[in-house]
Amino acid sequence: MTPECPDITYEETTDMAAGKKYRFAGDPLLRRDSDPGYRVGWRHKVRFEKGHLEGEMSYGEASRRAAELQAKDTEGKVYFPEMTRTLEG
């Protein structure tokens, strides 16, 4: 049995180097399938390349889509659900 967690709509962080504030769409510590504000990110295993696919979805949808893309991958990329963040201000 897990304790009930309050619904957190966003987390605020500050990029200390640039002095910018970002807002997360969901809770970065609790990843429930219904949490909105995720996208599919990718990294290349050998080269120093990274990116993400366009479109915002829930964590459950992003993790299923990442698993599908990983199963079909032939380029050496790793796919994962990535939380979106927006610049505040």
How would you write the pLDDT of the chain (89 residues) with one tens digit per residue? 444 544 444 445 555 556 777 777 777 777 888 888 899 999 998 888 999 998 899 999 999 999 999 999 988 999 999 988 777 76
What's the Cα-to-Cα distance from 31 to each of 14, 18, 49, rounded to whole Å? 21, 28, 26
Adjacent-strand bridge partners of 39: 82
Pull the structure tokens for residue 45.
């295993």
Pull the structure tokens for residue 25.
């769409």
pTM of the model: 0.69
Where do the structural domains in the chain lie, given as residue ranges? 38-89
Residue carrying structure tokens 């990843």: 31
**Count of Cβ atoms closer than 10 Å to residue 54 Cβ:** 6
Phi/psi region, residue 42 (left: phi>0; alpha: psi -120 to 50; beta: rest), is: beta
